[in-house]
Amino acid sequence: MTPVRPMRADARRNYERLLEVAAEAFAEQGENASLDQIAKRAGVGSGTLYRHFPTRRALLEAAYVDRIEALGDRAGELAERLPPGEALTEWLTELCVATLRLRGMKSLLGAAVTDAGAAARTVCGTAVQGAASRLVEAAQAEGTLRADLQPIEMLRLAHGIATASELGNGHPEEIRRYLTLLTEGLRP
């Protein structure tokens, strides 16, 4: 096994600057923001960007990993203070709101619910799917959610709700209403 060499200070600065600029660009322009423009705004060449992030998805994930991990942690916080069914609905609301507010994240989370196998191998997919599994299983054990619902199905439905709410005003109240209609329909 080849030892991993630590990044030089200038490479670390370039990496961090690329992430900062990428998060801004994705927030402004969505997932299809120009990677060449991101590199230019970060003050590096395109080769430097691609050396650190060989694909658009790799850059998207790196730009949003902290936010997605925080959403995963939030599921645990909600589970500690709310009954399981309420914790699930509240977490899904927060997930949908974040999906709409952080342009570019919708694509990343969409990929996490498209193919459970591949997404589970990404940091973002693991965080979201793990949180959903814990909350869905707790709600099922509580008896407030049908036993045959798979966590990945719940995430897919939530992704659909985020998409549907874009057609309306996308406010958290609208998302919460859609989620309430959904979860009430999924009761045993």
d(CA 89, CA 102): 20
Helix H or strand E encompassing 175: helix 172-185
The pTM assigned to this predicted structure is 0.83
Domain boundaries, the chain: 9-54, 60-185
Residues 67/102, Cβ–Cβ less than 8 Å: yes
CATH topology of domain 9-54: Arc Repressor Mutant, subunit A (1.10.10)
CATH fold for domain 60-185: Tetracycline Repressor; domain 2 (1.10.357)
pLDDT digits over 52-85, tens only?
A: 999 988 899 899 888 889 999 999 999 999 999 9
Q: Residue 176 above 80 pLDDT? A: yes
Question: Mean of the pLDDT values across residues 90-119?
Answer: 78
User: Which pLDDT does position 6 carry in this prediction?
Assistant: 66
Q: Helices (H), strands (E): how many in the chain?
A: 10, 0
Rg (CA), the chain: 18
